[in-house]
Copies of this chain bind each other. A is one copy, B any other.
Amino acid sequence: MGLSHVDEKGNARMVDVSQKQHTERTAIATGRVRMKESTIKLIMEGNMPKGDVLSTARIAGIMGAKQTDKLIPMCHNLPLDGIKVTLEVGDQMDVVDIRAVAKCVWKTGVEMEALTAVSVAALTLYDMCKAVDKDMVIEDIMLVKKTGGKTGEYTRV
């Protein structure tokens, strides 16, 4: 039929890691949400209509990290050993910076968990503030560092 060949080629798969070693893994991801200074002031004063923005985003990021393998089709489910999400207002009062650190001791890395935590925290910031500012932009979600695994350490330059 020829179909199986086409199939083989496009064949999305969750790569077999059964032969890989358990090693300690860390991944750090960052991103930011750009917004008006007036929006940031409302956040800091605790006057957003949906309530406390930063703690809701932090918790959403942590819970989002635990959903990573349900969201990303070819991602392995793995037992996450720790996840920390921090949010900080930038010096120019025009962004909220987001940073997530994920850890596990497993056969595959936790890059996607860290990136998902940042993404969900960013989306939650948007949701909590969108009644007063729809122009916000989620910017520059990236991996800044990973350790562990066969490919070893990666640091973004």
Residues of A within 8 A of B (CB): 1, 3-4, 7-18, 24, 31, 44, 46, 49-52, 54-56, 58-60, 62-67, 69-89, 91, 93, 103-107, 111-112, 115-116, 119-120, 122-124, 126-128, 130, 134-143, 146, 154, 156
Closest residue to A6 on the B side, CB-wise? B54
* Listed residue (A63, A67, A70, A130) with the most chain B CB atoms within 10 angstroms of its CB: A63
How many copies are assembled?
6
Contact A3 B44 (CB under 8 A): yes
B127 and A112 contacting across the interface, CB-CB below 8 Å:
yes
Q: Say yes or no: B72 contacts A60, CB within 8 Å.
A: yes
The residue that A71 contacts in the complex, of B11, B31, B64, with Cβ under 8 A, is B64
Once A107-B81, A139-B140, A140-B137 are accepted as A-B contacts, the answer to whether A62 and B10 lie under 8 Å apart by CB is no
